[in-house]
Amino acid sequence: MTATTRPAPQGSTTAPSGAVTTGGSPTGRGAVAYVWAGLRLALGWVFLWAFLDKMFGWGFNTASENAWVNGGSPTEGFLTFGTSGPFEGFYQSFAGAAWADFMFMFGLAGLGVALMAGIALRIAAVGGTVLMLMMWSASLPPDTNPFMTSHLIYAGLFIAFALVYAGDTLGFGRAWSRMPLVQRLPWLR
């Protein structure tokens, strides 16, 4: 069996990478870039909102009296009562610990800001994937599926955002990548 290829659209060229281009950009790239940017912004809001609600207790998922600014712990409830499976004891061992609260809140804020701004997406991909894998492993096996949860989907999205430069559209990714420090240390991209 031989592979077939679609002919390039009229008026288009083939870039050295093999991508069909029209007007200097991959065919359909404009629309695809906006879809990736929209997904990035949506997931960024999920994490930024989680940070804000846990910080200030605006009553959506965190009551005011349980807000971090009011002395509540953003990790204690879930790590104490929401964990199950082989890692239950491990996660419960640091439920409510100050360092765990700080790391969790720092992670939520950092991921939310990075995704919303479209900067440091490689760092966000690593940090977000680690956080999502930890959250996934905290409740094994999942209640509604043999292994798949939204945590794994989010981890995949974090990686994809970095790979497709999703911060360049509706974000500051291009400006960020031109900064001397980022050019010197490309893993900051």
CA distance 127 to 9: 40
Written in H, E and C, the secondary structure of the chain is CCCCCCCCCCCCEECCCCCEEECCEECCHHHHHHHHHHHHHHHHHHHHHHHHHHHHCCCCCCCHHHCHHHCCCCCHHHHHHHCECCCHHHHHCCCCCHHHHHHHHHHHHHHHHHHHHCCCHHHHHHHHHHHHHHHHHCECCCCCCCCCCHHHHHHHHHHHHHHCCHHHCCCCHHHHHCCHHHHHCHHHC
95 or 4: whose pLDDT is higher?
95
Q: What is the pLDDT of residues 31-74, one digit of tens each?
A: 999 999 999 999 999 999 999 999 999 988 999 999 999 999 99
**Can you give the pLDDT at residue 59?**
85
Q: Which of 64, 68, 47, 33 is nearest to 161 (CA)?
A: 33
Residue 24 has pLDDT above 60, yes or no: no
pLDDT tens by residue, 110-128: 999 999 999 999 999 999 9
Domain boundaries, the chain: 29-188
pLDDT at 28: 52
CA 58-36-133 angle, to 5 degrees, is 60
- Amino acid 113: pLDDT: 98
Please tell me the pTM assigned to this model. Answer: 0.83
* Residue 6, pLDDT above cutoff 60: no
How many percent of the chain have pLDDT more than 90? Answer: 82
Average pLDDT, the chain: 88
Residue 27 vs residue 86, higher pLDDT: 86
For 115, list phi and psi in degrees, rounded to 5. Answer: -70, -45
What does the pLDDT read at residue 22?
42
Say whether pLDDT at 158 is over 50: yes
Work out the average pLDDT over 77-99. Answer: 96
pLDDT exceeds 60 at position 129: yes
Q: 185 vs 42, 108, 163, 175, 182, CA distance in Å? A: 28, 24, 17, 15, 5
